[in-house]
Chain A
Amino acid sequence: MSASPAKPDAIELYLTHLNAALLKVPRNEREDFLREIRVHIFEKLEQPGAQIPGVLQALGSPEELARQFLSECSLTKSAKSWSPWVLLRTSIRWALTGFQGFVMFMVAVVGYSFAAGFYLTAVLKPIYPSNVGFFVNSQGLVLANWPPPSGHELLGPYFIPVALIVGFLFIAGTSYILRLMMQSFAVARRKLA
């Protein structure tokens, strides 16, 4: 980190306020942003006649800067996406930022895992027809087992399209819930900021 040896208090105070207002932003993203602002301040101060108060004032207040960053940042963007990849990546980044982030992450993992599971059974059905299916027995519902599960297989040849449709519904449903959560999260954070 480049900082002059004697760090003037006003600059550190500015950056501390900015950091505090951005605590909910994932650490990498926040540190990169703070580093950029810090370099901006010190580089401006190298210009002839530059004074700390003027440089900080020109930058805008830390609260205003944080508010702008939050309203521009990833959550708002991802909340408009339907791509499971974008939604999953965003929820991973937010997993450790608080309870709401963790719940979002769990919804993403569980929902997309179910979807992946159904797609996998659709692929395996033609290869292992007696092991994979929609079996109903004393344990309840079994989708796949080695050795082959006991009980009746209900769907037969219809298993593959049904599994693909259910897999798709899990993807769409999970994406829909994640988008709603991210939108409400983004609105709450904008109000907070």
Chain B
Amino acid sequence: MAKPLIVEPQNGDRWEAQLRKGCLELAILASLARGRLYGLEILRVLDTETKLTLAEGTVYPILSRLKQEGLVASEWVEAEAGHPRKYYWLTPKGTVRARSMAHAWMDFAGNLTQAVGPLLNGKRKD
């Protein structure tokens, strides 16, 4: 284990925590777009590709809910050596939902990126 994922952001930065949390569902669905993954693999994808630093346990309740909503399916696979793993994959309904969420995200991010541009360029509209 290289580094423990941070549980709560320091200095009470609730906004960023909420933002990360809100994006987690999309990030999990997106990670499953590449195929069947088990919990730890999903966490690795999230850690390396999205930098969504949250308590690791957070993904499991979300996966349970996604399963109840029929967006993902799961199956325990017994390994000959090592631990059994619970694999998850996107259902057809989950694929449709993930795509529509991805489109919504792109629109949202595009608009907001434009809106916050002046903050980053140091320009002010007075």
**Interchain Cβ contacts under 8 Å between A and B, 27 examples:** A2-B82, A2-B84, A33-B60, A33-B64, A35-B86, A36-B86, A39-B84, A39-B85, A40-B39, A40-B60, A42-B83, A43-B40, A44-B1, A47-B1, A57-B4, A57-B7, A58-B1, A58-B55, A58-B56, A59-B55, A60-B56, A65-B58, A68-B62, A72-B61, A72-B62, A73-B64, A73-B65
Report A48-70 CB contacts with B as 1/0, cut-off 8 Å.
01110011011110001100110
* Chain B stretch 73-97: residues in CB contact (< 8 A) with chain A: 82-86
Flag if B86 contacts A43 (CB, 8 Å). no
Report A87-100 CB contacts with B as 1/0, cut-off 8 Å.
00000000000000
Q: Is B5 an interface residue (CB 8 A)?
A: yes
Kindly list chain A residues whose C-beta atoms are within 8 Å of the C-beta of B64.
Answer: 29, 33, 69, 72-73
State the A residues within 8 Å of B (CB).
2, 29, 32-33, 35-37, 39-40, 42-44, 47, 49-51, 54-55, 57-60, 64-65, 68-69, 71-74, 77
Residue ID in chain B nearest A67 by CB atoms: B61
Kindly list chain B residues whose C-beta atoms are within 8 Å of the C-beta of A58.
Answer: 1, 4-5, 7, 55-56
Q: Is B57 an interface residue (CB 8 A)?
A: yes
| Inter-chain contact total with CB atoms closer than 8 Å | 79
- Known contacts A54-B4, A57-B7; A36 and B65 CB within 8 A of each other: no
Q: A39-B83, A43-B40, A58-B7 are in contact. List 17 more A-B contacts (CB 8 A).
A: A2-B83, A35-B86, A36-B39, A36-B60, A36-B86, A42-B83, A43-B83, A49-B1, A58-B5, A64-B57, A65-B58, A68-B62, A69-B61, A72-B61, A72-B62, A73-B64, A73-B65
A77 to B62 CA separation, bound complex (whole angstroms)? 12
Flag if A64 contacts B55 (CB, 8 Å). yes
State the B residues within 8 Å of A (CB).
1, 4-5, 7, 39-40, 55-58, 60-62, 64-65, 68-69, 82-86
Residue ID in chain B nearest A49 by CB atoms: B1
User: Looking at B1, B39, B56, B57, which has the most chain A CB atoms within 10 Å of its CB?
Assistant: B57
Chain B nearest CB, measured from A20 CB (Å): 16
Flag if A55 contacts B61 (CB, 8 Å). no
Kindly list chain A residues whose C-beta atoms are within 8 Å of the C-beta of B56.
Answer: 40, 58-60
Residue ID in chain B nearest A65 by CB atoms: B57
Chain B nearest CB, measured from A182 CB (Å): 14
Kindly list chain B residues whose C-beta atoms are within 8 Å of the C-beta of A42.
Answer: 83
